[in-house]
Amino acid sequence: MIPTKREDNNVLLSLSSEQWTKEEQSDPIRLFTEGRLIRIEKEAAWLLSYEENIEQGSDEVRTRLLVYDAGGIRLIRSGAMQMDVFFEKGSHYTSNMETPFGLMEFSVYTNEACASLEKDGGSLLLSYALSFNKREAISTKIEIEAEKLKGN
């Protein structure tokens, strides 16, 4: 459970994502959505959260990114897809993820995990290689820009 004592701001998020394998590269995805940027002093972290639909017509997925002052980013997804992964540059992590297709083992190698956040917004970069069930890795790069909404 994430503590509730916080400094809370609504933000406009600009998210861009690219994925590729050795064989192919998908078109970049870019979306804009509203989210929340919350300072959690007890965790010494910023929490960036937003909701998204993975596929049109599917249930929503709630995404939360905890950005720790000491380094590292924790990605927590709940809803139609569930995932809890800690990213730190150079780290390798293996776990299981609940998907609409059942439980899948995944492995993550983090190339980059950095962020610069403050109460009015900031940016986040994640770059990692993800493989499911010990198959070929899919490389992913996610960039997020957060800007405080007017009137907040």
Q: Along the 152 residues of the chain, how does pLDDT read in single tens digits?
A: 444 444 568 999 999 999 999 888 889 999 999 999 999 999 999 999 999 876 665 678 899 999 999 999 999 999 887 888 899 999 998 888 777 788 888 899 999 999 999 999 999 999 999 998 888 899 999 999 999 998 76
- Global confidence as pTM: 0.83
Domain-wise residue ranges, the chain: 7-148
DSSP the chain: ------EEEEEEEEEEEEEE-SS-BPPPEEEEEEEEEEEEGGGTEEEEEEEEESSTTSPEEEEEEEEETTS-EEEEEEESSBEEEEE-TT-EEEEEEEETTEEEEEEEEEEEEEEEEETTEEEEEEEEEEEETT---EEEEEEEEEEEPTT-
CATH superfamily assigned to domain 7-148: Calycin beta-barrel core domain (2.40.128.20)
